[in-house]
Amino acid sequence: SMTTNEQSLSDFYYHISHKAGRNNGLFAAARKARNQHWSLAETIIYLTPLHTAQIGNLAHRKENIHQRRREALCTIASAFSRPALETLPDSSVQENPGLPNAVREALLQTQIANTQQSCAAARVLDVLRMVGWKAGKIFTASEALTVCKVFKIGRDSLLRALSAVGKWGKKLIPKSLMLSRVSAPNKTQNEAEPPQLTAGGRPKQRYEMPDNIYLQAAVGISETAPQESDPLQPDDLASPSAYRAAIERELLKRRPGQYPNRWLARRLGISKRTIQRYHKLLGVSIKPVFGYTQYTDSSAFRDLKSRNAELCGIWLQDQDGKRYPPIAALAAKLQKRGHILTFIRQQPNYYSLSPNPIENQLPSAASMPASERLQMHPETSAASSKSRKGNEKLAQMFWRCLRCGAFIPGQSKHTPSHCEACALGAPALHTAEAPVRELLSRLRSGIGGQQTLAPKIVSAVLTWRNLHDIVPPQEYAPETGAWLQDPSGKRYPPIRGLAMRLLKRFGSDNVRYFSHDESAAVFHDLGLWLAREGQYEGAMHFFRRAGLNAVDADAGQ
């Protein structure tokens, strides 16, 4: 009897032979055997009889058995002319055989496939991997149902998973072609052995366990996406809500930090209200974060609008703790009266499950003297005192400098206007030191359902050498979506004469040029056109050139 690897290899050979020809199927099967660390002799012994017995198409010229055997030897030797590909996962991936986080997020996002089917496929694949089923294993639906019932996954969810398709119509759990062979090699039956009894009726459909590379191609993410997988418990796979909540729990346990609520919801393919319910169920610690910086001039703050504009989460605050709307004329009037203003913006909340390292560095409101507590607006003070009675943790808030990104405790009785890093000239906190979030797809859906690509901003450091190559001359109209920026963050029109004055004022390597990368949109349009024509490999190439990588897997793919 054939082993699982031999059966999988023969099915793979018949599948490729039926689609791409006999010789191409033999070369692909020999290369697969080489990557699975088969020896050259074992591959020749097993694949040569399959190739010689395989019937060619009618247009192919007739060959005898010796010519086919010679062709098989040359093709297999050509496949073994290069070393095997080393695709061994990391030690962390070996200890946890679950789906990669990028694949989970891509399956849960609604833009990949039907939401119920993709979520069921993610749960079923995690269950089968949890019990030890490896990639390439051939199984039937009844065998998978026996395993899934132990984890409280029913027949309907299993059927949704087996019929789920990926981003380009590719099956997430591929069917095995054991029952769809073009022709099978002749087998001699020993007359002394009794014939095997086969059950009547329709033959059972067999499926094959996919590997990470197949799943990444099916959901449309890059092959170089991270392979890390968060560990899940058996109870986390019982229902779709428990599965999504477990993925959210592992993210906040692994990387506590600032996340927009909409980003967290889109990563799991749910609404903002549902992600709030998950946070309440998991007992997530949510801390509001307010960014601040000293207000100097209205030209440096693009968020200051006219008197009739309505802005949420942005205000001005003076040295007495009184708040004002972010209006430029009002700010100028207050400065003339001697008020020291601070520009404050509400930022995404800080989510955590474990004890927060930043929270340990900040003094609590109860331990601070009365003279050093932050004076807040009466409505905010009453609201925070009410929330402190119900949950004392919610009364604590974080302040973050908008210039360097550092978390600064309230050292005075009012909101600090600057942090020590900016005041003393110490190295600012680099954004690369913060934990990198999972990448979501850059695709957006328009009003008519048409997919568009989110703009990608690129920057370049201006010097006297590259000035004429990057910045357009003055006789041309300024480029749309481009600007110049000085070391303080102030923006200017992309004009060459203005860029020269900025270089003279701030020096070389201190002025940056920002613009929108239009090449990504061109690559995205080419990929869509190739995908409509059925050329999926070329489409994936241009999508990778466009930078459509999941991270990012959000995500949520």
pLDDT per position as a tens digit, 313-346: 788 888 888 888 888 888 888 988 888 888 888 8
Distance CA 89, CA 374 (A): 51
User: Which residues contact residue 310 at a Cβ distance below 8 angstroms, ignoring those fewer than 6 apart?
Assistant: none
Distance CA 251, CA 498 (A): 46
Compare 22 and 161 and report the one with higher pLDDT. Answer: 161
With 60 as the cut, is the pLDDT of residue 475 above it? no
Whole-Å CA distances, 172 to 191, 220, 512: 43, 11, 45
Average pLDDT, the chain: 73
Q: Which two tokens stand for residue 14?
A: 């018949």
Q: Which two tokens stand for residue 235?
A: 């109870």
Distance between start and end Cα atoms, the chain: 41
User: Which residues contact residue 134 at a Cβ distance below 8 angstroms, ignoring those fewer than 6 apart?
Assistant: 209
Q: Which two tokens stand for residue 382?
A: 């009453």
Query: What global pTM score does this model have?
Result: 0.53
- Burial string for 496-513 (b: 16+ CB within 10 Å, else e) reads bebbbebbeeeeeeebeb
CA 297 to chain centre: 39
Query: Contact 404/428 with Cβ under 8 angstroms?
Result: yes
Distance CA 353, CA 279 (A): 10
User: Which residues contact residue 124 at a Cβ distance below 8 angstroms, ignoring those fewer than 6 apart?
Assistant: 144, 148, 153, 157, 158, 161, 162, 173
Compare 187 and 254 and report the one with higher pLDDT. Answer: 254
With 90 as the cut, is the pLDDT of residue 275 above it? yes
- 98-111 pLDDT tens trace: 899 999 998 988 54
Q: Provide the residue type at 135 as one letter.
A: A
Distance CA 290, CA 194 (A): 80
With 90 as the cut, is the pLDDT of residue 129 above it? yes
With 60 as the cut, is the pLDDT of residue 496 above it? yes
- C-alpha count within 13 angstroms, C-beta hemisphere, residue 89: 20
Query: Contact 257/350 with Cβ under 8 angstroms?
Result: yes
Q: Are strands 443-445 and 483-485 parallel, antiparallel or unpaired?
A: unpaired
Residue 349: its H or E element: strand 342-352
- 421-445 pLDDT tens trace: 454 333 322 322 333 333 344 555 4
- How many C-beta atoms lie closer than 10 Å to residue 175's C-beta? 15
